Structure 1
Amino acid sequence: MVREGRRTVIVPTYACLTMIVPWQLEGMRIEQVACDPVMMDPADLERALARCSADETVVFYCETFGCQPSRALSDVLGETRGRGVRVVADRTHSVLCDSVCAADMEVVSARKLLSIPEIAWVDGKVDQPSRRSEADNALTRARQQFLSTPSVATFEAVEDLADELWTPVSPSQDAMTALEAVDMAGLRADVRRTRTRVEVGLPPGCTVVNEGVCAPLVVRTNHADKAADALYSRGIVGPIHWDRPASSRLEWPSDLLCLPLVMTPDQCDQCIEVLTAIHS
């Protein structure tokens, strides 16, 4: 993108910092757009685009929690591409879904939802990844350890190593083998069963944010932090949680609870039990 003369990237305010840092490392200026509630607000996106030159701009559009764009947002993104702005779609959360929005490039970090130690891909014209180093191999081993024995300690071991490694490299053979072994059809069926069991038991005061998608169930509740702590004590932790960056000046949702992608019937019932108790 930089080689094309792109200098500005428009990003959603509600996003993980690791999604934004790669653009900053390329020296691009970050323009934030408000979200409503988790997807880009189309009116604010139009205002941001009006401040930018089309041939120097990228829109980094994210299908957060697997959500698909509204008609209004789809129209703005389509018109944007027609004017020469590049649209890059982050489909990390919608990797199990059928995405409906066209883009010039898509990126996916598959390990976010799949039980694999690593692998991300970019569908578009990019440079070849660098060779793996021993530090990259150590990170792979740490991620494998986390997958086999998930805990705070194994999670932090991964994060400590990942914080130092930003250069894209080829995936390990172990990761490729793990990806090939994923039963995608079976996984989608398990996700739908999990979502259905929890959704039918949600108490008043809880609403589903990402209805009808094949992704972790995300619930809006005024007691999100309390519920997350209670579920954590039972060993139930969702894969997606973003703390508000200190630098963010725009609105940030604090009432969202992400549940695990796939759960046993007992775990589903525990989620309902915790949420019901909190809202009673």
Structure 2
Amino acid sequence: MTDLTLNDGRTMPQLGLGTWQIPDPQAAAIVRKGIDLGYRLVDTAAFYGNERGVGDGVKASDIWVTTKLWNDRQDDVEAALDESLALLGRDSVDLYLMHWPVPAAGLYVEAWKAMVRLREAGKALSIGVSNFLPEHLDAIVQATGVIPVVNQIELHPTFQQRDCVAYHQAHGIVTQSWSPIGQGKALLADPRITAIAERYGRSAAQVVIAWHLAKGYSVIPKASSAEHLSDNLAAADWQLSEDDIAAIDGLDSADGRLGPDPREM
């Protein structure tokens, strides 16, 4: 499985396991199963309410752990990370992300400064952001000189955020896709996706995940069953043709956003 090199010199697995909406009591078993299958990155967040379960699942394993600062803790970043670390049962986290900029609160620049200090203290080995637009990225970089290693954004074939991706590429930021298969059934039933899947003898989900990997994005599909965990992971074992990548590129839609608009959070 491919690793991506971050702008701080560290390497991160390109494909990981997302845990949004996995209840805490179930998280440990799902994460352990994922590790047994070959996952080397697990993504959680304070907001998910499952950091304890994820922490139990990654015990005694050498796996990359990402967690996130929730919106109501931007004025108390160190305490928030300490609480996450206690739940995870770790002294440090591989990647700490600011979950949303929440521009109306006006705290995200100061929160980023605090995250830089936590990286320097060794509590967060790498730091990044989530759901930031170029204007938000400009503000934190201008204030600190520190460029996030990752921006985790909503990204799927029907909402490709090309302006954000171009900014990331120009500044050495890894694009990490959340909701990579568009939250489910509609995209996976799209005849343009299913036709490609049938031609390769692969699942529709594998086709979409393979597209993310081909674009150079990090991708963290959520799965809870052993079947889906295995199916998603197998997307890294093969490649789409350039024509198929171009065909999926053509699914982009200006109104394809499924989650909140970062300007309005």
Q: Which has the larger radius of gyration?
A: 1
Would you call these one fold, judging by a TM-score over 0.5? Answer: no
Given the two structures, how large is their TM-score scaled by the length of structure 2? Answer: 0.38
For CA contacts below 8 A with separation 6 or more, give which structure has more relative contact order: 2
